[in-house]
Structure 1
Amino acid sequence: MNGTDIPLGVNKSNYISYNALVVGYHKTEREHILRMLVRKDFAIVGSISTLVDAFKELEYLQVTDKKPDVMLADIESLGSSSLLYLEKIRETYPDLKILVFHIDSDKETIKKILDLKIHSFDLKPIDDKKLTRKLAKVLNREDLIPREAEILSEVKTINLKNFHIPTLPEVTFKVLRVNPNNPEIGWEELEKLIQPDKSIDANVIRLANSSSFGRSGKIHTLKDAIQLLGVQNVKNLVFLLTKKNIYGRVKGKLYHKFLQELPILSALIAVDLSVVLDLKDEKELIFLYSFLGRIGMVVMAMNFPDQYKEVLRFYEFGIKNLENSELTRFNSTSQSITIKVFKLWKMPESFMETVENKNFNYEEMPGVSNREKVIRLAEIFAMRLIGVTLDQSEEKIFNALLNYFKRPDLIDKFSTEYYDLVQDHPLYAISLG
């Protein structure tokens, strides 16, 4: 018999069905899982409502011919007792394959589940597609994934012909082309471009009057504001407002965190890092590189709001890194979309180069510029501050960057105290307001 002809629920080595125990508070949800397992030829040895009862049932089943091979736990609420018994089950029955499905919970709870080193974890809801992929991996039946799960797969290959990429507003497009290296002509050009747009005009004056520039309440005209801020700072503000309008098309707490707060926080940290790491002359450009460097995430969220939200859930909890999670779901990455966005917007070539190097790994680190190292370090600091769990590779790069700059003390500088203070920064307030 061809291996792929053997159902997922049957052990390939002895042709005997795997014994499965299902745990879940709601009877209807347990029955939903049971139906899927039966169709895959699993032998059902129990259907239990709580992990406490499951622990007792497992003890009884060990001395019968119905000793479970797999336990699927559909957990609605995971209190301390449930965690305790899940840990007991894991320690007492190390050969038992444990799959846990849980609602979208807080970071700490999910971290506790992952710390138990169970065989598989995923977020609810549970469907046949998800269950097939998880069981196939746990039971070493990858041979079934192409046949059974690939057909059911939720992977969306992005067709750029049908993919909506927002265009730049005309004023932003023209502002991009103002030369910041010629301040005499630059500020006059900016004034003519910005003045008709009352929203941008007001925000430029608002920024100039902030405490960050020491002229609170003294700036009343756009001309004075531009001359105080400088051409590049005003250009950065225009892009910030443009991205804010684009972001406004996607809603939700998770999107607010990753698409709105993370970029501005990363950019502000990048500016502060530039000052202390001898890149002060590049700080305004570094701000923009950092702030726009993940615009592809916004575009993917606009086109696939529900699917991309799931990608970010896994990223937030450190279950998968962003690039792998995007590839699994979309067969493309936000990094590649960012490059396409920049090409459409006719951004300078330096933006494309910076994005191409943005996700460098540990081995590639010596070959990237200090500017790119600062941008990456700033983003990692920002992720730590907003509560994103770093995976091992990201932690390795973080420590390597601190060692490269010989500044381990930066961990203390960009702490929760810094996070509290930076939220008063006018650009932070404008971006999130």
Structure 2
Amino acid sequence: MPQLTAKTLIKGALDLCSLPDIYFQIREMIHDPRFSMNDIGLVLAKDPALSIRVLKIVNSSFYGFQARVDTISRAVTIIGIDDLESLILATSVVDTFKKIPSEIINMTDFWMRSVNCALIAKLLAKKSAILHSDRLFLAGLLHNIGALVIYQKLPEKACRILMLAQGDRCLITGLEQEIIGFNYAEVGAELIHDWGLPDSLAETIRWQLNPCAAQTNKTDAHLLYLAVKLTDMVDMGTNVEEVLSAAPDSTLRTLGLNEFQVKQAVNLAVDEFKSTFDLLSPGKKFH
């Protein structure tokens, strides 16, 4: 029997974690000059729930526009095609994983943590004066997506890993490596690749645990690394000072951030969390 790898695990899981057809249809239209924004809006309108959620996000404090945006074509004009694609992906992916055993993971808790990480990543990117910081929102939202594949395809091993970790997230990566031979970040990168999403996003997610190893997207990898550590603060009983003192020197040097800016980003994420979570996950109850 061939050795199980992150890549082969994904190949056997795509029937369980495939994105909706409308996402791929819209993505193809976005990158085809033959289609106008009106054409894209008409296709998106075939999924009223998705189009309403996208417009709600565009009109929320997430973007902070003064004038109301009431059509998809107007939304694209204001936020740009890349952000529209990211928004549609973000709103679609939250609904993608339906078959995770509830005894392994509470999906509302999973997405609450993911949305928090997404906001921290985006806000850190803004503090770092990084252009198109919303790509970091997507990286934060999807940073732990590989864990869901592991839960789906290897539930017994996943339960064993979670039991041995006893809530300590710092132990999970090593336990995954020991028990299944690879970790959630590798699986997530392979899934991003199989979905046909940018290589830059796949690399950011792959190297979130070891950002210094990233080849072409070191800044994004360092940002995601720091966002994940800051997201884990409450669970781990740590604070910003401890997170920063434990981070590689190269992380803060690469990002050009100081402790005050990091604390600002974390506090802003707290302020924005509930409204963003409700927009992305309307069927999941915030608690």
- Please state which band the TM-score falls in when normalised by the shorter chain: 0.7 to 0.9
Aligned twin of 2:151: 301
Which is higher, the Rg of structure 1 or of structure 2?
1
Q: Point out which structure has higher relative CO (alpha carbons under 8 A, 6+ apart).
A: 2
Pairing partner for 1:201 from 51, 54, 59: 51
State the distance in 1 between where 2:63 and 2:269 align. 20
2:128 aligned partner, one-letter code:
L
Determine whether 1:377 maps to 2:238. Answer: no
CA distance in 2, matches of 1:238, 1:379: 23
User: Match for 1:196: what amino acid?
Assistant: K
For normalisation by structure 1, the TM-score amounts to 0.53
Q: Residue type of the partner of 1:276?
A: K
For residues 395 and 254 of structure 1, the distance between their equivalents in structure 2, rounded to whole angstroms, comes to 31
> How far off its partner does 1:401 sit?
2.8
Matched residue type, 1:293 = H
2:199 is the alignment partner of 1:349: yes
Aligned counterparts of 1:422 and 1:398: Cα–Cα separation in 2: 28
The CA deviation string for residues 149-176 of structure 1, in whole angstroms up to 9 with x for no partner, is: xxxxxxx956649832222222112333
Give the one of 140, 160, 165 matched to 1:290: 140
Pick from 259, 271, 276: which aligns with 1:421?
A: 271
Distance in 1 (CA, whole Å) between partners of 2:214 and 2:259 is 18
In the other structure, the counterpart of 1:271 is: 122
Aligned residue-pair number: 271
Bigger Cα displacement from structure 2, 199-208 vs 289-298 = 289-298
Q: Give the deviation of 1:221 after TM superposition.
A: 3.1
In the TM superposition, residue 226 of structure 1 has moved relative to its aligned partner by 3.6
Q: Does 1:321 align with 2:177?
A: no
Judging changes above 3 Å, is the alpha-carbon distance between structure 1 residues 326 and 232 closer, same or farther for their aligned structure 2 residues? Answer: same
Q: In the aligned structure 2, how far is the partner of 1:210 from the partner of 1:161?
A: 35
Gaps of 5+ in 1: 1-155
User: 160, 170, 175: which one pairs with 2:21?
Assistant: 170
1:257 Cα deviation after fit:
6.4
C-alpha distance 261-395 of structure 1, shift in aligned 2 (>3 A): farther
User: Deviation at 1:310?
Assistant: 4.3
Give 1:299 shift.
1.2
Looking at structure 1, the residues matched to 199 and 11 of structure 2 have their Cα atoms a distance apart, in angstroms, of 25
TM-score w.r.t. the length of structure 2 is: 0.76
Q: Deviations over 1:351-399 (max 9, x none)?
A: 33223322216x65899622221121112111214x1467x99962267
| Structure 2: runs of 5+ lacking an equivalent | 283-287
Report % sequence identity. Answer: 13
Mapped to 1, the partners of 2:203 and 2:214 lie a distance apart of 15
**2:219 counterpart letter in structure 1:** N
Q: Indicate how the Cα distance of structure 1 residues 348 and 312 shifts in structure 2: closer, same or farther if over 3 A, else same.
A: same
Counterparts of 2:65 and 2:203 in 1: how far apart (Å)? Answer: 36
Alpha-carbon distance in 2 for matches of 1:191, 1:408:
43
Post-superposition Cα deviations, 1:16-55, rounded to whole Å, max 9, x if no partner, equal xxxxxxxxxxxxxxxxxxxxxxxxxxxxxxxxxxxxxxxx
Q: Does structure 2 conserve the Cα–Cα contact (< 8 Å) formed by 1:262 and 1:382?
A: yes
SS in 2 for 1:401: helix
2:52 maps to 1:210? no
